[in-house]
């Protein structure tokens, strides 16, 4: 009799859930696998839209909800949230007893889940390791999770090499590309009239889609950078601007308050959403003229749509960037200059030649098949690179 393998996926944010959606669908459709889902972090917060409800609306059953997000987003508040999370994950994983725990990325919620699983001797599969984001504490979290994990699914070859450099055996590191690109093969796109109706906003060009997260190791306070961003947008008074909420990182709540103030003063041409959902977000990206902020989606998804992106500050410093991405400092003058360049005829003429640096999709199926076939219980040894000396 075949034993059904239990694969537990942890998700803490709307964006991360969007990247994991098709992997969850692949696992749930396989008769030899049992999907378990743990929702935590921002998913369970009223402030961030109670996005666990979207998971349920999509037809998934949530096996455990781990509350950990305190009302404070100060450094001590985040650290205390992590402590609360360890207690919650200890109980959840003891009850669910998964065969493999899957975590994606570099947020503190994933570090909490990974360290709890490591102590419980539950093997870990990590997605999107090996990347660098020098403007955020996520950089250290990501590499820490790499050392806790047994298997690694990276988004590009340079990231595969970096994970191996961290001491992971090559036969445990798989470069299948970015799972978020699976949407481009399966999505039902919303057209412009449908988006306008859904958003209750006329998308008069130029359309600017903005996501700015706190750069926790940035050169300036996040609220200062946000004020520069909004001052830059004041210079484009004819533009339609749609914001999505920042993550629940240090300083995030002050950004939300400032965003709401700006949108209230520009309600004829602007809107802010806690979560758009992956279908609306990507459809809006397709209809946008500029993607602005410091979200990884500007580097991974936007180039597939051949859309201009203005990447602010150091949060994404070190990541692979397509020719469609313009880097800029977090100052009004620099942001205005970059947006104007992104809208220029010369820059627009080069966008059709944009190439994705993160694969071409069909990632979730390959990850699922790998998780299904790997041998559980094999000991991980440190892999030393031969430097020739």
pLDDT in tens, the chain (389 residues): 568 999 999 999 888 998 999 999 999 999 999 999 999 998 998 878 888 999 999 999 999 999 998 877 788 988 999 999 999 999 999 999 999 999 999 989 999 999 999 999 999 999 999 998 776 678 899 999 999 999 999 999 999 999 999 999 999 999 999 999 999 989 999 999 999 999 999 999 999 999 998 876 655 688 999 999 999 999 999 999 999 998 766 667 889 999 999 999 999 999 999 889 889 999 999 999 999 999 999 999 999 999 999 999 988 888 999 999 999 999 999 999 999 999 999 999 999 999 999 998 899 999 999 999 999 987 889 999 887 66
- Please indicate, yes or no, if residue 386 is contained in any of the structural domains: no
Q: Tell me the backbone φ, ψ of residue 380, rounded to 5 degrees.
A: -90, 130
b/e 101-136 (16+ beta carbons within 10 angstroms → b) = bbbbbbbbbbbbbbbbbbeeebbbbbbbbbbbbebb
Q: What tokens does 333 get?
A: 């003058």
Whether residue 89 is found in the same domain as residue 196: no
Whether residue 367 is found in the same domain as residue 260: no
- Order the strands of the 33-40 sheet from edge to edge: 64-66, 33-40, 5-11, 100-104, 124-127, 151-154, 173-175
Q: Which of 281, 353, 284 is nearest to 322 (CA)?
A: 353
Whether residue 280 is found in the same domain as residue 334: yes
Q: Which of 1, 11, 26, 59 is nearest to 372 (CA)?
A: 26
Whether residue 313 is found in the same domain as residue 196: yes
Q: Tell me the backbone φ, ψ of residue 46, rounded to 5 degrees.
A: -60, -40
Please identify which residue in the block is written with the tokens 């041409």. Answer: 269
Whether residue 168 is found in the same domain as residue 196: no
Range of the domain at 224: 190-353
Name the pTM for this structure. Answer: 0.88
- Please indicate, yes or no, if residue 130 is contained in any of the structural domains: yes
- Please indicate, yes or no, if residue 185 is contained in any of the structural domains: no
- Please indicate, yes or no, if residue 120 is contained in any of the structural domains: yes
Whether residue 159 is found in the same domain as residue 203: no
Residue 103: which CATH number? 3.40.50.2000
Whether residue 163 is found in the same domain as residue 202: no
C-alpha 255, offset from chain centre? 18
């Amino acid at each position: 009799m075949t034993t059904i393998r239990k694969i537990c996926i942890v998700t803490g944010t709307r964006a991360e859930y969007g990247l994991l959606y098709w992997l969850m669908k692949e696992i749930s459709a396989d008769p030899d696998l049992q999907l378990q889902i743990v929702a935590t972090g921002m998913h369970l917060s009223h402030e961030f839209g109670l996005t666990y409800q979207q998971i349920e609306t999509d037809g998934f059953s949530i096996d455990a909800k781990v509350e950990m997000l305190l009302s404070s987003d100060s450094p001590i508040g985040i650290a205390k949230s992590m402590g609360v999370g360890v207690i919650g994950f200890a109980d959840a994983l003891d009850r669910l007893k998964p065969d493999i725990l899957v975590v994606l990325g570099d947020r503190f919620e994933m570090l909490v889940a990974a360290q709890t699983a490591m102590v419980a001797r539950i093997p870990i599969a990590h997605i999107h390791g090996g990347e660098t984001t020098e403007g955020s504490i996520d950089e250290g979290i990501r590499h820490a999770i790499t050392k806790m994990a047994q298997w690694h699914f990276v988004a590009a070859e340079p990231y595969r090499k970096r994970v191996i450099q961290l001491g992971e055996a090559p036969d445990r590191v798989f470069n299948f590309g970015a799972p978020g690109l699976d949407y481009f093969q399966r999505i039902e796109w919303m057209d412009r009239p449908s988006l306008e109706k859904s958003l209750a906003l006329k998308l008069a060009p130029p359309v600017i889609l903005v996501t700015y997260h706190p750069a926790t190791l940035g050169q300036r306070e996040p609220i200062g950078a946000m004020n520069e961003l909004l001052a830059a947008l004041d210079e484009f008074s004819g533009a339609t601007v749609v914001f999505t909420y920042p993550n629940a990182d240090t300083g995030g709540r002050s950004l939300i308050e400032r965003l709401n103030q700006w949108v209230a003063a520009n309600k004829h041409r602007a809107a802010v959403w806690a979560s758009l959902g992956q279908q609306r977000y990507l459809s809006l990206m397709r209809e946008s003229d500029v993607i602005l902020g410091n979200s990884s989606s500007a580097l991974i998804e936007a180039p597939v749509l051949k859309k201009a992106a203005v990447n602010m500050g150091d949060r994404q410093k070190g990541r692979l960037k397509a020719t469609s991405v313009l880097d800029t400092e977090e100052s009004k003058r620099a942001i205005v200059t970059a947006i104007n360049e992104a809208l220029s005829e010369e820059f627009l003429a080069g966008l059709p030649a944009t190439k994705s640096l993160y694969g071409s999709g069909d990632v979730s199926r390959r990850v699922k098949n790998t998780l299904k076939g790997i041998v559980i219980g094999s000991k991980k040894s440190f892999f030393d690179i031969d430097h020739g000396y």
